[in-house]
Structures are given as structure tokens and as C-alpha cells.
Amino acid sequence: MYSSKSFLSIALSYLGFSVTDGAIRVLVVLYFHELGFSALQIASLFLLYEIAGIVTNFIGGWMGSIFGLNITLIAGMLLQVLAMGLLTVDHIFLTVPYIMLMQGFSGIAKDLVKMSAKSSLKALNQDETESGLFKCVSILTGSKNAMKGLGFLLGGIFLTQFGFQFSMGLMAGTLLALTLFSIISLPKNLGRSKEKIAFTSLFSKSKSINILSLARFFLFGSRDIWFVIGLPVFLQVNLEWSYSSVGSFLASWIIGYGLAQTLVPKFITGDQLARAMGNKAVAFWTGILVLFPAGIALLLNKGFNNEIIIIGLLSYGIVFAVNSIIHSYLVLAYSNEESVSTDVGFYYMANAGGRLVGTLLSGWVFQSYGFLACLWWSVSFLVMASLISIRLPNVRV
């Protein structure tokens, strides 16, 4: 059975970290756009963030199985504190290589914390039903995104009220206090394997995990192609929104997206769970997402007001929430308890790869061809994700 104390300790650590992760993203994008950086230059600032995520997910699960998931989670939180502390230096030192390096630290931190928190759910799920696991995945994932959305909001407000450096220092101090609490409260030896885990186990031998990971690559790449650079810069330049307005809108979207994720189990329960996790159902939900970037692009091309993006984004967020929860549950359902951290690490390595490609494309495509092109690239990635999902095995619930 789930220990409520253990679950709450993990959730609090993960959610507190997620606030800083969202805030840093907005602070970096808006601050460096203000300094005159191009969209492609801003995208390059996140290059090491995503590359570090790929490497961290690859070896993070292996480290978690050896040292315990509580250790990898705390290590990630401390590394985030360090990265934010090093961003409090004077602006003359905030060069592109320096920011890239700090973002690399944040990328390692984020994926250590995410891998540890997500894998912990399987490690704690000893006597629970699959429906119970699905519910806990939805609650943790949805709450995380809501807190990340709060971070987006705070990032925009902090930049306006306090400036870049002070904001980083404030968040570093707060996260350090939470980390000290986590060291005391997190369960010990969580997810630590009783057997020696070979390094070769990092490469998933599961066909289902491999297919799901490839689908995840295209799913999250499709989102970031238009969401990471293109959308916030478009809102700021074309709609002439202020920093706080951009941060507030992105925050509202992510918070709503997170809340939608927590509600998914209310509509998918019992016998419905098996049908919802079937390959055709997964491919269907991914395919529906195509309608939103394609619809927004077509309407903008027809001369509709730019505000149509706002309406489209709200609908897109609900459907993307369903897709994200299904994927997050499936990776745990396909894994066994002994290999869960390495399977989850491999899966999120693909996720980080998709985010890396999506981020780079977001900067390059937006700068070269504009926001409409970002939307059409997103469509192509979604089609690939849907076609790949058809190959997934069905889950026995």
C-alpha cells in the first residue's frame, strides 16, 4: 500500500522544485530577449539543458537503482540550488556560454528529480491496483505541471518587480530550505535494487518501452516546437504583451493543463482503463492533437485575429493533458519493479531528446519562417507520434 507520508514527502519535493524550473525558463527567455538576443540565440541557451537531460535520464535510473531514489532526488535539488545561485552574478558575466552551462546544471537537476519522483510511484506501489497507480501518476504529474505553471507566473512577476539576479537568489534560498526538509523526510533506500544492476541494463530491452519512448520523443517535440520560443516571443512582439502578461498567460495555461491531468482518472476508471490504454486509443488521442496547431495555423492564414491562438491553446492543453497522463502511466505499467528506474530513465531520455529537437526547431523555424511554420512542424511531429503509437501493446489491467 502507498504510505501517505512517503508520497507526500516525494510530492512536496517534486512540486517545490517544479516551481523553480518553470520560473527559470520564463526568466531566461524574457530577460535575454530584452537584451536583444534573437529567437535562435535564446533557443541555444537551452541546448545544454536538454542535452544534459538526455544524458541524465540515461544514467540517472541506473544511479537511482544503486544509491536509492531519495539520494538522486536530493542531489537534483541541490544542483538546482547551485545553478540558481551562480546566476546571481552581475549581468556582465551572463554570457551565452555561461548561461548555457548553468542551464546544463538545471537540466541535470530537473531530470534527476523527475526520474526519482516518477520511479518512486512504482516502488511504493506494492499492493495497490493499477487504477490506484494511474490515479497517483495523474495527481503527481498534474500537480507538478500546475506548480510549474505557478513558476511561469512568478518568473514574469519577479523579472518585473525584482530583476533577474535577485529573483534567482530568492528562489535558490527557498529551494535550499525545502531540500533540507526533504533530506529529513524522504524515505531511505527508496527504489534501491537488492541486486547488482549492470550498466548494459540502461538500454531498454523491452519492445513496449522502446516504442513508447519513440512516440514520446515526437509527442513532446511537437509541443516545444511552437511553445518554447515561438509562442512567448510572438505574444511579446506581435501582441505587444508585457513580461508579466506573457508569464501570467503561460502560467495559467500550464496550471490549467496540470489540473486537467489530475482530473483524467475521474473519467477513466475500472474497466475503462484497459480500453483507454489500448494502442488504438493512444493513437487516437495523439491524432486529435493534430487538429489544434493545424486549425490555429489555417485560421491565422485566413486572417483571423491573433487572439485565436489563446482559444486554440486552451483546448489543446486539455487534450495534451490526456496524452501526457496516458504516457506517464504506460511507462510504469510496462516496467517491472526491479527495472523501473532504468526503464523510466530510458523513456525520459527520449522525452528530453524530443524537447531538445523541439526547442532548437522552435528557435530556428520561428526566426527563419515565422510562427505559422512552427505550428505546421508541430503537426508533422504529431502525425509521427500517432502512427508510432499504433504499434504499442495493450495493457492488461
List, for residues 268-314, the tens digit of each pLDDT value.
665 566 566 678 888 998 999 999 999 999 998 888 777 788 888 88
User: What share of the chain has pLDDT > 70, as a percent?
Assistant: 87
- Tell me what pLDDT residue 255 has: 82
Provide the angle, in degrees to the nearest 10, between the axes of the packed helices 308-334 and 279-289. Answer: 160
Please check the confidence at residue 197 and state whether its pLDDT lies above 60: no
Q: Is the predicted pLDDT of residue 104 greater than 60, yes or no?
A: yes
- At 9, the pLDDT band (50, 70, 90 cuts) reads confident
223, amino acid identity: R
Grid cell listed for 74: 536530493
Lowest mean pLDDT among 43-52, 128-137, 158-167, 192-201: 192-201
Q: Are 190 and 69 in contact (CB under 8 A)?
A: yes
Per-residue pLDDT at 2? 47
Q: Tell me the whole-structure pTM to 2 decimals.
A: 0.74
Residue-level pLDDT at 260: 83
Query: Tens digits of per-residue pLDDT, 322-363?
Result: 888 888 888 888 876 666 767 777 888 888 889 889 988 988
Q: Is the pLDDT of residue 126 over 70?
A: no
Distance CA 307, CA 122 (A): 42
Dist. CA 228–CA 46, nearest whole Å: 10
**In the predicted model, is pLDDT for residue 179 greater than 90?**
yes
Give the relative orientation of helices 96-124 and 4-34 as an angle to the nearest 10 degrees: 160
Residues contacting residue 129 through CB under 8 Å, at least 6 positions apart = none
Question: What's the mean pLDDT in 141-153?
Answer: 85
User: What's the number of CA atoms in the CB half-sphere (13 Å) around residue 304?
Assistant: 15
In the predicted structure, residue 41 carries a pLDDT above the cut 90: no
Between CA 140 and CA 92 the distance in angstroms is 39
- Residue 1 pLDDT class (50, 70, 90 cuts): very low
**What is the model's pLDDT at position 92?**
83
Sequence-separated (6 or more) residues with CB below 8 Å from residue 66: 192, 193, 197
Q: What is the DSSP letter of 159?
A: H
370: left (phi over 0), alpha (psi -120 to 50) or beta: left
Measured CA to CA in angstroms, residue 114 lies from 13, 18, 287, 352, 395 at distances of 10, 9, 27, 11, 24
pLDDT at 180: 93
Task: Give the mean pLDDT of 241-255.
Answer: 79
Q: Backbone phi, then psi, for 284, in 5-degree steps?
A: -65, -50
pLDDT at 201 over 80: no
Please give the helix or strand (H or E) that residue 199 lies within, else none: none
pLDDT of residue 177: 95
| pLDDT surpasses 90 at 249 | no
Give the per-residue pLDDT at 56. 84
Q: Taking the CA atoms of the chain, what radius of gyration do you get in angstroms? A: 20
Question: Using an 8 Å Cβ cutoff, are 33 and 233 in contact?
Answer: yes
Question: Is 24 or 52 the better-scoring residue by pLDDT?
Answer: 24
**Model pLDDT, residue 275:** 65
Find the range with the poorest average confidence among 38-52, 83-97, 187-201, 263-277.
Answer: 187-201
C-alpha cell at 129: 491496483
Fold adopted by 4-185+205-389: Growth Hormone; Chain: A; (1.20.1250)
Q: What's the whole-number average pLDDT of the chain?
A: 83
Q: Furthest-apart CA pair in the chain: how many Å?
A: 62
Percentage, residues of the chain above pLDDT 90? 26
- Contact 274/131 with Cβ under 8 angstroms? no
